[in-house]
Amino acid sequence: MPITVTPEEARSIVKDAYLYGWPLSENYNTIYAYNVDTTGPNYKAPINQIYNENQVYTPEDTSVVTPNSDTPYSFVTADLRAEPLVLTVPAMSPTNRYFSYQLIDCYTYNFNYIGTRATGNAGGTFLLVGPSWQGGDTSQFTGVFYSESELDFVIVRTQLFAPDDMPNVEAIQAQYKVQTLSQFTGSPPPPAAPQINWPLPATGDAGKTPAVFSVVNFILQFCPTHPTEVGLMERFAKIGVGAGLPFDAESLSPEMLAAFEAGIADAWAEFEKINAQVSAGELSTADFFGSREYLNNNYLYRFTAAKQGIYGNTKQEALYPMYYVDADDRKLDASTGNYTITLTSLPPVHAFWSITMYDAETQLLVDNPINRYLVNSPMLDSFVRGADGSITFYVQNESPGSALEPNWLPAPSGGFYMAMRLYYPDQTALDGEWTPPPAVLVS
């Protein structure tokens, strides 16, 4: 489809289309790595099959930025074009074990949940339905969840109480079942959906070039246009962005290529403004993750969520207070100082909490001599406490000494950031009555 606007007009449209589309491309990167690229290092399983991780994330896992490392994951990429999927969940054992199924559409919206908070720990069968399903009797299901897109990504988190609890987690994961509706009912399957010709993703530096739009156009084929976005799609079509449209970045004229590159740079500049507000405490990451209704089509927020930690949970499921600066608003850097975080009261949660370390450059977990990437509530009995019962964590590159090493959160020799995670947070945390203690520079 030819571009029908001037380079000046294109720059403005490109900025908005990039803010809109880049999260879709980032989500596709994961689907491609996990379910399409069978020879790649991050391949998990075919589409419509569940894959269970029998370990937590380490620095060797590089496919997702800012990963959680305190719940073993399970993953499903759902193709709902031909028929719905049935997700069977066992009752949790013990009954207080936290788990969640995060249902994510192609836009990266969290459109619903199965789990401790949302549906309880008694188990059940849940129907995951795409936009093209013609309907049928759903009365036999514990719950029915409707997606805007034909492809969904499902992330399952199962609480690990301690390292020796892993066999129990594996036993639960073995009972997570994924079936097509026809498999579940034992009825003849409908006609198969057309085979998908998966394009190469636009990863790394390519994700910051016009090449990203060819991936966006591919993904939009699985996303019927939402009523609130009809006008938006008409505008994006002026630069060749839309469901199934051919897009060849190499065919852009020098003037139009410059306009596209400028528009993409403008989008990243908008992100940097938001990021500065987060660092200053003016915005919370809780503002960026959620359903379409919650975000109200705020594409800059959705973009920020994908950049800061794609697949973050909706705030009612988990809060993510971030540590980018110290108590005096200086960027965290363990090459120039050591830090402490002191908990005078425990984070208020119904499930559990953690603080995880990340390298500022790579956004990945940090390799260290004791293989500790986080501190969390299951480790409470091992922490050294102050006379008043408080817990002080030592955030630094080198060990604080054997006596304090149980409280050491190893940092890289350079810039870093930390994510606190509050799973199933109490209302006091959601309302801001409880706030995380700062990171204090001590040397």
- DSSP annotation string for 170-201: HHHHTT-EEEEHHHHHTPPPPPPPPPP-PPPP
Q: What is the mean pLDDT of residues 224-239?
A: 97
Average pLDDT for 212-229: 98
Q: Which pLDDT value is given to residue 155?
A: 97
Q: Residue 105 gets which letter from DSSP? A: E
DSSP assignment of 124-154: EEEEEE-TT------TTSSEEEE-SSSEEEE
The answer to whether 132 and 14 have CB atoms below 8 angstroms apart is: no
pLDDT tens string 108-139: 999 999 999 999 999 999 999 999 999 889 99
Mean pLDDT for all residues in the chain: 95
- pLDDT (tens digit, 9 = 90+) per residue, 43-76? 999 999 999 999 888 899 887 788 888 899 999 9
For position 186, what pLDDT does the model report?
96
> If residue 306 lies in a helix (H) or strand (E), which one and from where to where?
helix 299-309
The neighbour count for residue 225, using CB atoms within 10 Å, is 14
Rounded to a whole number of angstroms, the distance between the first and last alpha carbons of the chain is 59
Percentage of the residues of the chain whose pLDDT score is greater than 70: 100
Residue found under tokens 């596709």: 28
d(CA 278, CA 66): 16
Instruction: Evaluate if residue 158 carries a pLDDT over 90.
Output: yes
Tokens (6 digits) for 401: 């000494």
Q: What burial letters (b/e) apply to 84-117, b meaning 16+ CB within 10 Å?
A: bbbbebbebeeeebbbbbbbbbbbbbbbbbbbbb
pLDDT band at residue 242 using 50, 70 and 90 as cut-offs: very high
Phi, psi for 123 (deg, rounded to 5):
85, -175
Contact yes or no for 83/133 (Cβ under 8 A): yes
Tell whether the model's pLDDT for residue 1 goes beyond 70.
Answer: no
pLDDT tens by residue, 375-411: 999 899 999 999 999 999 999 999 999 999 999 999 9
Lowest mean pLDDT segment, chosen from 66-70, 264-268, 419-423: 66-70
Question: Could you tell me the domains of the chain?
Answer: 7-28+196-308 (no CATH), 33-185 (2.60.40.1610), 320-442 (2.60.120.1600)
- Give the model's pLDDT for residue 358: 98
Say what the pLDDT of residue 356 is.
96
∠ CA(429), CA(434), CA(436), 5° rounding? 100
User: What pLDDT score does 68 carry?
Assistant: 84
Q: What average pLDDT does the segment 266-291 reach?
A: 91
- Mean local confidence (pLDDT), 11-40: 98
